[in-house]
Amino acid sequence: MVRALEMVAPGTSLREGIDNILHAHTGGLIVIGDADELAFLFSGGIKLDLDYTPALLYELAKMDGAIVLSLNATKIAHANVQLTPDPTILTMETGTRHRTAERVSKQTDALVVAISERREVVSLYVDGVKYILEDIPVVLAKANQALATLDKYRSRLDQVSTRLTALEFEGGATLHDVLTVLQRAELVTRMAVEIERYIVELGTEGRLIEMQLDETMVGVSADKAALVHDYLVDDTDEEFSTAFDQLVRLPHQDLLDFGRLAELLAYDRKLNSLDYPISPRGIRILGRIPRLPKMVVKRIIEEFGGLEELLAATDGELETVDGVGEIRAKDIREGLRRQQEINLVDRYLQT
């Protein structure tokens, strides 16, 4: 469906043609797919094989029957075609044009666009799923409302993340603190996915929304991945991929269940997360130090085991780690100190 929305988004030549048909109150049925694979549905019609133009699409829509476009909608393959999908396929539509559109989409891989002559509505059908295109101002209003919600979500994420960082430096983090940040990070990610769909539907009208979204989402994905690495019981590549994949696929109701989130990190869901102390490996904090390669971060974690041990280590012990040395050891110390200071300022500003 996202691919379909991209094809008919404002600014595309296909959307221009659809809008021309819509504004002329002509109505139409457009099938976008491989003409050879769809040929078994055709009855009559005219074979054209012409380059697509919005004006030509509009003129052809004045005739009865469907218009068939190539997969990338750059060619008009057929016009005035009567489509004969399997009549036994269940459809909830009532009008002839929309019943045909739904059945064709269920029977083939084609994108079908039905333009209602009377209601002035454009309906997309993909794999039997219907999506009604809304007016641009309506979609913009929804996108802006979603952005405002995302901004609140991100603000809350920053608060709980700042608190977790402070507790990590103090050695007082609990499993509940970690799960709170993980939950908020995933909620922010999911809200961003919703807004991305609006951006796709808005096409050229959604560039400003896209810029705002990019600005709001800076660092969220990397921090979420580092958080999972920090607190996963067994941080192997396989375990991380499994946990991260399960988090993405988690139903919304389960995302609100801290017991289920604890299971993703391989903890017992019956644990009292409020009282269960937990220490980070330090990947999230070390990842914020400028010019510190990931491979060096990995070696530091392998050498010391966690953030608590790293903070207690001497400069000499840190310098002996492969890839660190005297200069980089000072940079790491300075980076950790600066993070503590920044965290204190952030906590002060959030109160």
Per-residue model confidence as pLDDT tens digits over 260-316 = 999 999 999 888 989 999 999 999 999 988 888 899 999 999 999 999 999 888 888
CB of 93 closer than 8 Å to CB of 119:
no
Whether 173 and 310 share a structural domain: no
Q: Does 276 lie in the same domain as 138?
A: yes
Structure tokens at 16: 């221009």
Print the domain residue range for 48: 2-133
Q: Are residues 120 and 139 in the same domain?
A: no
What average pLDDT does range 226-250 have in this prediction?
Answer: 94
Same structural domain, 138 and 275: yes
* Residues 270 and 205 placed together within one structural domain of the fold: yes
45 and 179 fall within a common domain: no
Q: Is residue 259's pLDDT more than 80?
A: yes
140 plus 241 within the same structural domain: yes
Looking at 233, 248, 280, the residue that finishes a domain is 280
Same domain, yes or no: 160 and 272: yes
- Three-state SS string across the chain, please? CHHHHHHCCCCCHHHHHHHHHHHCCCCEEEEECCHHHHHHHEECCEEEEEECCHHHHHHHCCCCCEEEECCCCCEEEEEEEEECCCCCCCCCCCCHHHHHHHHHHHHCCCEEEEECCCCCCEEEEECCEEEECCCHHHHHHHHHHHHHHHHHHHHHHHHHHHHHHHHHHHCCCEHHHHHHHHHHHHHHHHHHHHHHHHHHHHHHHHHHHHHHHHHHCCCHHHHHHHHHHHHCCCCCHHHHHHHHHHHHHCCHHHHCCHHHHHHHCCCCCCCCCCCCECCCCCHHHHCCCCCCCHHHHHHHHHHHCCHHHHHHCCHHHHHCCCCCHHHHHHHHHHHHHHHHHHHHHHHHHHC
State how many domains the chain has.
3
Cα–chain center distance at 5: 15
pLDDT averaged over every residue in the chain: 92
Instruction: Using alpha carbons, select from 241, 36, 3, 22 the residue that is nearest to residue 118.
Output: 22
Average pLDDT of 112-139? 91
Residues 223 and 248 in one domain: yes
The CB density around residue 4, as the number of other CB atoms within 10 Å, is 20
Q: What CATH number did the domain enclosing 46 receive?
A: 3.40.1700.10
pLDDT at residue 249 is higher than 90: yes
Residue 117 pLDDT class (50, 70, 90 cuts): confident
**Residue 209 · residue 144 · CB < 8 Å:** yes
Final residue of a domain: which of 107, 133, 159? Answer: 133
Task: Mention every residue, 6+ apart, whose C-beta is less than 8 A from residue 17.
Answer: 52, 53, 54, 55, 57, 58
For residue 297, give the CATH number of its domain.
Answer: 1.10.150.20
What tens digit of pLDDT does each residue of 330-343 get?
Answer: 989 888 888 888 77
Distances (CA, A) of 51 to 76, 95, 341: 6, 30, 62
CATH of the domain at 173: 1.20.1260.110
Cβ 83 vs Cβ 41: under 8 Å: yes
The reported pTM is 0.82
**Does position 351 have pLDDT exceeding 70, yes or no?**
no
